[in-house]
Structure 1
Amino acid sequence: MKTITSVELAKLAGVSQSTVSRCLNDSPLVSEETKARVKKLAEEYSFQFNTNARGLKTNRTGLIGYVFSEDFTGFANHYIQSDIYYRIRMHLAKEGLDLVPVFDDRKFGERFAIEKSISNRRFDALIFNRPQVSERVQNLLVETKIPYIFIYDTNESSDVPFMIAPSHTLIGSLVGRAFCEAGYTRFVELTGPSDRIDVIHKHTGFTQVLHQYGHELPDSHILCANYHLEEATAVTLAHRELFQPGTACFAQNDMMALGVLEGLRQCGISVPEDVAIIGSDNIPMGKWFRPNLTTVGIDYDSIIELTVRWILAMTEGRLPNSYRHVLSSKLIIRDTFCPE
């Protein structure tokens, strides 16, 4: 029997070529009924989906670059970035696409790895898990016309056309309002790297709400722990005097919140009886510790789903002119903060 092309197979099945690709790659975006029908026809007509030939036809590599944040120091130290990367990678693998990690490092030459990748057109598209890129990278992206999108840690106020991010300002506001409405008047904030836009927005949202309720956050009560658990523990121990009974602590991510929790445990300070703690991210480890961590939950499922949709639209040549999503968040109350 004569083999058929993907166009002919799509026509026989009454679906598009992209749907044929998804069916043969077992994509979850296609119903089981449609997948079964297409696979049966493919078997009957000895159809073989040739990804290499597809790449030659479309001038695509089938590779998507995932650019980690500039302060990324390893998968074990950056749980959220690692989880987002892994889950997007699994989704794209079902579509026959590979997600490749990219790290900036000048130690191996004059140009960052990302600049080389763009210049060499290694990737069909780029996902930036960071707030911004250098002017040099911006110029390269314009010159090469490689599609790109900013996700998660990006600047919610920027005017980039492709962006998926939580409102970091809202995260800070939710924590500030929860503390003030619970009657707290004394506060400590643990921040990430001071030059990061997500850190700035969380701090802004937090302090604006405190001001609305007539409270101040002295500079001496703002401690930097660079989003790391161990640093947060050390900083807490070094500033034990700030954690007096009746204090509410906002740690800008859960890893730091857990570090504060450990530091207070070593100091013999009870949580939440003496000090309340709220983190941000809703990582699984927050429920492993005792007391369980109160946190702000970010909709990572939507970040991942929307990113995958954008990539698939790009591969099918139907990328919109703008794709901007600023996502909401919610307070998840557990044991380290008792509003009553």
Structure 2
Amino acid sequence: MRITIKDIAKIAGVDHSTVSRSLNDSPRVSKKTKEKIKKIAEELGFEFNHNARALSSQKTGTVGLIYPETYEQTGTSLFLAYLLKNIQRIFEKHSLDVIIKFPKNKFTNESNIKKIISQRKVDGLIIASPDILPEDWEYINKFNIPVTFLHFRPKYFHSDKIDYVYTDHKKGGYMATKYLLNLGHKKIITITDEMYDTQFQDRTHGYQEALEEVGYKLKAENVFKCKTSFEAGYELAKENLEEFKNADAIFAQTDIVALGIQEYLKSKDVKIPQDVSIIGYDGLEIGEFFSPKLTTILQPKDKLADLACERLVELLKERKEGIYLHKILEPKLLIRESCVEKK
């Protein structure tokens, strides 16, 4: 016989909504009533949210990883897949399972964050997405779920009251552009992502800052947008061949787009880097396998994952009021073969 919330309510002498609130540990129910209802539920063998252990320990042994919709784009997925591998390794070390979700269900448009929290499927969250809405954040706070933001600079929220780990993307954009300027390049095109989330805004601001530092103004015609994929970079170069051929250098704000551009230009007898220098961003290993090897801005992928995951593990054990991890990591210039001094 399957025990239901109504059965528990009948035995406890309360309505079923009180039972539901008690099992969800709602502050609207007294401690005495919650303990009574949980005891009845355990004695009857009631399995709440598919995990009876949660009734006594209030722990699922699972954390949620919220990924952006753009994970389906090739370039984004390459970088985030590397992070995912490290995240799973770290949590496995702590005997924690990982549930991976987009912020919302693309078919129903319902919040996946609210769903996994309301169903008590996770003890905490790593949020590696820029698409978290204020109402999702309010829901997270309502249920007091530990959270660490990873890779993306959080929007909407007071950054002094959240835990986060991400790369200094503005500095990365500045470093890439400054390197090209120091090589003597003047007309520098940049390619950002069409979604233009916080990380790409920061990279573009860094690009702009480096230009302004030497007296160049940001020109709208030198900023292009496309999806983050090899194919998108290839097609963008195809559609703008003359502009790209006439540039001194190209700063593509992801490696995979840089490689797509590089391969198309090569197919049109544009010599890289003799005719046009190209620099990417992310530090993906795949850049080593193209000719020329791609110069890039390296994100500290291992350290990003380590710091974010270890911080969440700390929060799952103990949360200290007013103490937050604010870590912005330094990118590095990785010089390979795709940039050369302007003659």
**If the length of structure 1 is used for normalisation, what is the TM-score?**
0.79
Match of 1:71 in 2: 70
Give the residue type in structure 2 aligned to 1:152: H
Give the residue type in structure 2 aligned to 1:203: T
Give the residue type in structure 1 aligned to 2:263: E
Match of 1:11 in 2: none
- Share of identical aligned residues, percent? 25
Q: Secondary structure at the match of 2:185?
A: coil
Q: What is the rounded CA distance, in whole Å, between the counterparts of 2:121 and 2:291 in structure 1?
A: 46
Residue by residue, what CA displacement relative to the aligned partner does 1:121-166 show, whole Å, maximum 9, x if unpaired?
2210011112351011011011111111111122499445210000
- Considering Cα pairs closer than 8 Å and 6+ residues apart, tell me whether 1 or 2 has the greater RCO: 2
Q: Which runs of 5+ in 1 are unaligned?
A: 1-51
RMSD (Å) for aligned C-alpha atoms: 2.3
Q: Counterparts in 2 of 1:1-340, with a 5 A limit? A: 57-73=56-72, 78-155=77-154, 158-244=159-245, 247-318=248-319, 321-339=323-341
Q: Does the C-alpha gap of structure 1 residues 86 and 266 become closer, same or farther in structure 2, counting only changes over 3 Å?
A: same
Q: What is the rounded CA distance, in whole Å, between the counterparts of 1:195 and 1:158 in structure 2?
A: 20
1:218: how far off?
A: 2.2
Residue by residue, what CA displacement relative to the aligned partner does 1:100-124 show, whole Å, maximum 9, x if unpaired?
1112344443522222112222210
Paired residues of 2:129 and 2:152 also in contact (CA < 8 A): yes
Q: Secondary structure at the match of 1:71?
A: helix
Q: What is the rounded CA distance, in whole Å, between the counterparts of 1:260 and 1:74 in structure 2?
A: 16
Residue by residue, what CA displacement relative to the aligned partner does 1:40-82 show, whole Å, maximum 9, x if unpaired?
xxxxxxxxxxxx9986553110111000013222678611111
Paired residues of 2:75 and 2:254 also in contact (CA < 8 A): no
1:277: how far off?
A: 0.6
Give the residue type in structure 2 aligned to 1:62: G
Give the residue type in structure 2 aligned to 1:269: V
Paired residues of 2:61 and 2:95 also in contact (CA < 8 A): yes
Q: What is the rounded CA distance, in whole Å, between the counterparts of 1:96 and 1:262 in structure 2?
A: 44
Q: Secondary structure at the match of 2:60?
A: coil
Structure 1 stretch 127-136 or stretch 149-158: which is displaced more? Answer: 149-158
Q: Secondary structure at the match of 1:335?
A: coil
1:337: how far off?
A: 0.9
Q: Secondary structure at the match of 1:250?
A: strand
1:244: how far off?
A: 3.0
Residue by residue, what CA displacement relative to the aligned partner does 1:25-50 show, whole Å, maximum 9, x if unpaired?
xxxxxxxxxxxxxxxxxxxxxxxxxx
Paired residues of 2:73 and 2:227 also in contact (CA < 8 A): no
Q: What is the rounded CA distance, in whole Å, between the counterparts of 1:110 and 1:130 in structure 2?
A: 16
1:242: how far off?
A: 1.1
Q: Which runs of 5+ in 2 are unaligned?
A: 1-50
Q: What is the rounded CA distance, in whole Å, between the counterparts of 2:104 and 2:112 in structure 1?
A: 6
Give the residue type in structure 2 aligned to 1:97: L
Q: Does the C-alpha gap of structure 1 residues 160 and 176 become closer, same or farther in structure 2, counting only changes over 3 Å?
A: farther
Q: What is the rounded CA distance, in whole Å, between the counterparts of 2:311 and 2:128 in structure 1?
A: 15
Give the residue type in structure 1 aligned to 2:79: I
Q: What is the rounded CA distance, in whole Å, between the counterparts of 2:75 and 2:176 in structure 1?
A: 27
Q: Secondary structure at the match of 2:242?
A: helix
1:246: how far off?
A: 5.6
Paired residues of 1:132 and 1:154 also in contact (CA < 8 A): no
How many residue pairs get matched? 289
Give the residue type in structure 2 aligned to 1:277: I
Q: What is the rounded CA distance, in whole Å, between the counterparts of 1:256 and 1:296 in structure 2?
A: 13
Q: Secondary structure at the match of 2:270?
A: coil
Q: What is the rounded CA distance, in whole Å, between the counterparts of 1:70 and 1:107 in structure 2?
A: 9
Structure 1 stretch 249-258 or stretch 93-102: which is displaced more? Answer: 93-102
